[in-house]
Amino acid sequence: MTSSSTPSSVRATFTIGDEKTAKRTADLLAESFDNNEAAVAAFEASDKSWDITIHFADPPDREAIRALVALAANDEIASHIAYEAVEAKDWVKASLDGLAAVDAGRFIVHGQHHRDSIAPNRIGIEIEAALAFGTGHHGTTRGCLLLLDQILKQTTPRHILDLGCGTGVLGIAAAKALRRKVLASDIDLKSTQVARENARLNGTGTLTQIVCAPGFSSPRFKSAPRFDLVLANILANPLRRLAAPMSAHLASPAYVILSGLLPDQANAVIAAYRMTDLVLVRKIQIDGWTSLLLHRPAS
Total domain count for the chain?
A: 2
Q: Is 127 within the bounds of a domain?
A: no
Structural domain harbouring 150 = 139-296
Q: Is 122 within the bounds of a domain?
A: no
CATH number of the domain enclosing 62: 3.30.70.1710
pLDDT digit string, tens, across residues 59-74:
889 999 999 999 999 9
- What is the Cα–Cα distance from 288 to 283, expressed in whole angstroms? 13
pLDDT digit string, tens, across residues 175-218:
999 999 999 999 888 888 889 999 999 999 999 999 999 899 88
Alpha-carbon torsion angle 200, 206, 208, 212, nearest 10: 80
Q: Which residues pair with 163 in a beta bridge?
A: 185, 232
Please say whether the beta carbons of 169 and 141 come within 8 A.
yes
Q: Say whether both 261 and 205 belong to one domain.
A: yes
DSSP 8-state class, residue 48: S
Low-confidence ranges of the chain (pLDDT < 70): 1-8, 34-36, 87-100, 128-138
Amino acid at 195: A
Please say whether the beta carbons of 213 and 187 come within 8 A.
yes
Q: Say whether both 71 and 152 belong to one domain.
A: no
Please say whether the beta carbons of 6 and 88 come within 8 A.
yes
pLDDT digit string, tens, across residues 28-53:
887 787 656 777 777 777 788 888 88
Give one word for 224, left, alpha or beta, with left for phi > 0 and alpha for psi -120 to 50.
Answer: beta
Please say whether the beta carbons of 134 and 141 come within 8 A.
yes
Q: Say whether both 162 and 280 belong to one domain.
A: yes
Amino acid at 189: L
Report which of 189, 194, 199, 137 is spatially closest to residue 167, judged by C-alpha positions: 194
Q: Is 40 within the bounds of a domain?
A: yes
- What is the Cα–Cα distance from 134 to 190, expressed in whole angstroms? 13
Q: pTM surpassing 0.75?
A: no
